[in-house]
Amino acid sequence: MLSKLFYFSNNSALELKESKVDVDTSILLTRLKNKVISSFLPLNNGTLGVNYIATFGDGAECFFKTHLNLKKAQENLLKEIAFLEFLYGSEINCKKIEIQAGGQTWLRMDKLNPLTVDLEPHEIIEVIRNYSLKLKGSNLGQYVGPDDTFLSLLERSKSALVYLDASGHLSMEVKKSVENALLYVEKRINQLVPGICHGDLGPKNIMLKGSIPIVIDWEDAFLGFEGYDFLYWLTFFKNRKFYSRDMFDLTEFGCELGSAIMVLILVLKSELALSSGEYDVHSMSINDRLLEVINLDDGFRCKE
């Protein structure tokens, strides 16, 4: 989420669309000239990445991804490649391709398949546990920038709340409840166990290689805390079906802190939805989305 917040703070959705059209694939295709490529087609997915599927003469398919013409975007792709190589390496045939002319970087890996069924919360916990254990023994922290921290998200959530309120998207009750939630998180932040997090773990970022779950899109990896990725996953609209006080039994936070962190994430997601234009197609208001999570716990809810 950090990379998207940064991008849309300085650029519009229209500029993003135009930047994707401007990506040059010619040099890469020249590098692959020893391969018989029958098609090299763009994919309409991913926010800041520019993605393609190559089909070779023998019918094999391969995924390619590059970045926008921004230094930060290239750094994020290099980060993603480093994480994928470390976590999955030869399983997905992950490779980095550097194009010296123009300073372009490409990710190449096997084409993966989307999940065939939605994962349950306990299954997501297991996916997170598997990659988190590996990350603890890695040196991948070197790819995480000094501002890529949960503290940065907390500070950004405060300005995002002001923006949402000024835009008329919040009732007084919800605004005060969100303020209480952010204050509660700030008071408890030193009690959270630090750890490298994916930062954008949603249903579309979990793919399959055969029957093995592969977590992709590591460009938003940051220094957060254990359990953050699960709470982030819960904030996706399709995962609202799992909302209950009992779901926090799967975490180390408890209901009050867990729901407060979810409120923080939703505030940032709401700002992002407005700035990117995605909110135009949302079926539920920002106020109601926040209230749904606020109602999970009375600890920080404003009842005035």
- pLDDT tens digit string along 119-145? 999 999 999 999 999 999 899 999 999
Share of the chain above pLDDT 70, in %: 98
How close are the terminal C-alpha atoms of the chain, in Å? 33
Check: CB of residue 94 under 8 Å from CB of residue 85: yes
Check: CB of residue 164 under 8 Å from CB of residue 286: yes
- The alpha helices in the chain, defined as continuous H runs, are 2-10, 13-21, 26-31, 71-87, 121-136, 150-166, 172-188, 228-234, 255-276, 286-294
> Which one has a higher pLDDT value, 106 or 6?
106
Q: What is the DSSP letter of 199?
A: S
Q: For residue range 47-94, list pLDDT tens digits in order.
A: 788 999 999 888 889 999 999 887 788 999 999 999 999 999 989 999
Q: For residue range 173-205, list pLDDT tens digits in order.
A: 999 999 999 999 999 999 999 999 999 999 999
Check: CB of residue 112 under 8 Å from CB of residue 43: no
Quick one: tokens of 11? 């650029």
The residue with tokens 């393609």 is: 52
Average pLDDT across the chain, whole number = 91
CA 91, 116, 50, 77 torsion: positive or negative?
negative
Quick one: tokens of 207? 């793919």
